[in-house]
Structure 1
Amino acid sequence: MAFRLFVPILAGATLRERLLACIGATIGIALTGVISGLAMGNGPHVAMLVAPMGASAVLLFAVPSSPLAQPWSIIGGNTISALVGVTVAHFVHNPVIASGLAVALAIAAMSFTRSLHPPGGAAALTGVLGGPAVISAGFLFPFVPVALNSIILVTLGFLFHKLSRRNYPHVPQPAALTASAGRCGSPHRRAWR
């Protein structure tokens, strides 16, 4: 009985929605890699596709109405966080301390820029622990490949959702103001005067 607490409730968990998410992620990640590779070239020291894009694709294709999956969250969150990670790595040479600091500062930066995106934490870690490709890219890494990957993925997500007749980006509907809310002394009452 206690195991029921560990079973997540998935948004849009119909078979059709899950299959669309899988197809979208396959196309999105593959084409992002191909387009980035064409734009940047290939080689052992070129990071043409960064790992946080996998997590971004999960949000973009599986839960496209989530605030964490919107264009600014994906592009801004990943890019800003990667910039934070590279900056921290530049000044803090202990990888353990730099890792914690990069993720913490990335959360703060995404919060202040209203671009909260969980894969941004991975982008910050990649900026610190990314190896030779990240080191050779330096402060260009947040823009190429991270911002480039993010822009391509969001563009492909937008096209995919349009073709599959799903709304993206999600535009929240304004809350309906009811007459009963005005009579209950809620803050909405002032708007009616």
Structure 2
Amino acid sequence: MELLSRHAPGVPRLVAPLGASAVLVFGVPASPLAQPWAVVVGNTASALVGIACVHLFGAVPELAAAIAVGGAIGLMFLLRCLHPPGGAAALLMVLSGVHDWHFALDTVLPNSVLLVAAGMLYNGVTGRRYPHPQVAAPTAATTRGGPAGEATAFSGTDLETVLAHYNQVLDIPRDDLQAIVDEAGLLAARRRMTTLRCADVMSREVKTVEWGTPLQEAWSLLRAHHIKALPVVDRARRVVGIVTLADFLRGAALDLHEDWATRLRQLIRPTPSTHSDKAEVVGQIMSRQVRVASADRPLADLVPMFAATGHHHIPIVGDEARLVGILTQSDLVAALARVDRL
């Protein structure tokens, strides 16, 4: 690259700060400090500041060097082209005593442009984006790529607001920062899910029935408490079955679509005689194959059960397999929402 530079007597032919620029362009091409605007304008503007300081304060090199570096940093902030080697470019102008304004334009500028071109070629061949667009974060909440498609607890606008208050330059593009924060949040949510146990989120006030509970009483419990299932327990509160709305409808022969409401009323109405040809108690219509889970079982283990097997209610048992609660889809959704807000 230096072959295109015009040699000035007494001026080093090599622009040493471009070596540092090359480290950024080839090593961290996603960095905002390594983007073409930062490299080209940062180096050139800083060199001009250094030359100006030679003209103004050349008699006192120490003062000229300090003002050159400080002025270059300020100008790069103003032009939004912060590039660390730019400070070195300004210092080089002072230390080398460069008076010729053209040195910034016919040496620093073209070599910076060639460095950017080489970086684009190299990074393109190695499969890395360069230039790396410094896109603004989206205003809507970003959706994570997790198995359940969880959404972040904050939006891109929130991130922009925090960065504005942070008031410092971050050596990372906005989109990469958003992706890192999203992924970290997803991992944290998964970790919290593994620490939650069924006992932490289950409903403890469980309405139950026994095998001999009349159907009318069980139906009244379902309607009065707006629930869809009742665990069936024995006298030791061990689960022996579960009765759901589906069990009642099946008992009323719902497959015969006509006048099913009348058949349902007939099902739950007690038969006054001692003999009956229909079900009279919960044990006659309940589902005997019931899935239960222990109170200390990780909540994450039950998510696939709800999602894939069609379960809506899972009785939770404690010591000696006694019923201590019930976990519903509503409990699970509420737990997931709380985890995402933490």
In structure 2, the CA distance between the partners of 1:46 and 1:101, relative to structure 1 (3 Å rule), is: closer
Structure 1 segment 86-125 matched on structure 2, within 5 A: 86-92=51-57, 93-125=59-91
Structure 1 residue 127, shift from structure 2 partner:
1.3
Structure 1 segment 144-183 matched on structure 2, within 5 A: 144-176=106-138, 177-178=140-141, 180-181=153-154
Select which of 89, 92, 98 maps to 1:126.
92
Q: Tell whether 2:38 aligns with 1:73.
A: yes
Structure 1 residue 164, shift from structure 2 partner:
1.4
The answer on whether the counterparts of 2:49 and 2:71 sit within 8 Å (CA) in structure 1 is yes
In structure 2, the CA distance between the partners of 1:106 and 1:187, relative to structure 1 (3 Å rule), is: closer
Structure 1 residue 49, shift from structure 2 partner:
2.7
User: CA separation in 2, counterparts of 1:144 and 1:173?
Assistant: 32
In structure 2, the CA distance between the partners of 1:80 and 1:57, relative to structure 1 (3 Å rule), is: same
User: CA separation in 1, counterparts of 2:32 and 2:19?
Assistant: 17
User: CA separation in 2, counterparts of 1:151 and 1:170?
Assistant: 16
Identity %: 46
Aligned to 2:290: none
The answer on whether the counterparts of 2:137 and 2:159 sit within 8 Å (CA) in structure 1 is no
Q: Which segment drifts farther, 156-165 or 173-182?
A: 173-182
Aligned to 1:29: none
Structure 1 residue 45, shift from structure 2 partner:
4.1
| Greater fraction of residues in strand | 2
Q: In structure 1, what residue type is equivalent to 2:88?
A: A
In structure 2, the CA distance between the partners of 1:110 and 1:96, relative to structure 1 (3 Å rule), is: same
User: CA separation in 2, counterparts of 1:160 and 1:170?
Assistant: 14
User: CA separation in 1, counterparts of 2:78 and 2:47?
Assistant: 15
The answer on whether the counterparts of 2:6 and 2:106 sit within 8 Å (CA) in structure 1 is no
Size of the aligned set, in residue pairs, is 146
Deviations 1:102-136 (A, max 9, x none): 001101100000000000000000111124xx34x
Larger gyration radius, structure 1 or structure 2: 2
Select which of 102, 111, 116 maps to 1:140.
102
| Greater fraction of residues in helix | 1
Q: Note the residue ranges of structure 1 that are not aligned, 5 or more in a row.
A: 1-31, 189-193
Aligned to 2:27: 62
Structure 1 residue 141, shift from structure 2 partner:
1.2
User: CA separation in 2, counterparts of 1:158 and 1:145?
Assistant: 20
Structure 1 residue 40, shift from structure 2 partner:
3.6
User: CA separation in 2, counterparts of 1:141 and 1:42?
Assistant: 9
In structure 2, the CA distance between the partners of 1:187 and 1:123, relative to structure 1 (3 Å rule), is: closer
Q: Secondary structure at the match of 1:128?
A: helix
User: CA separation in 1, counterparts of 2:54 and 2:6?
Assistant: 25
Select which of 6, 24, 49 maps to 2:14.
49
Q: In structure 1, what residue type is equivalent to 2:74?
A: A
In structure 2, the CA distance between the partners of 1:187 and 1:143, relative to structure 1 (3 Å rule), is: closer
Structure 1 residue 79, shift from structure 2 partner:
0.2
The answer on whether the counterparts of 2:12 and 2:96 sit within 8 Å (CA) in structure 1 is no
Structure 1 residue 48, shift from structure 2 partner:
3.6
Q: Secondary structure at the match of 2:101?
A: helix
Q: In structure 1, what residue type is equivalent to 2:61?
A: P
Greater relative CO, 1 or 2 (CA 8 Å, sep 6+): 1
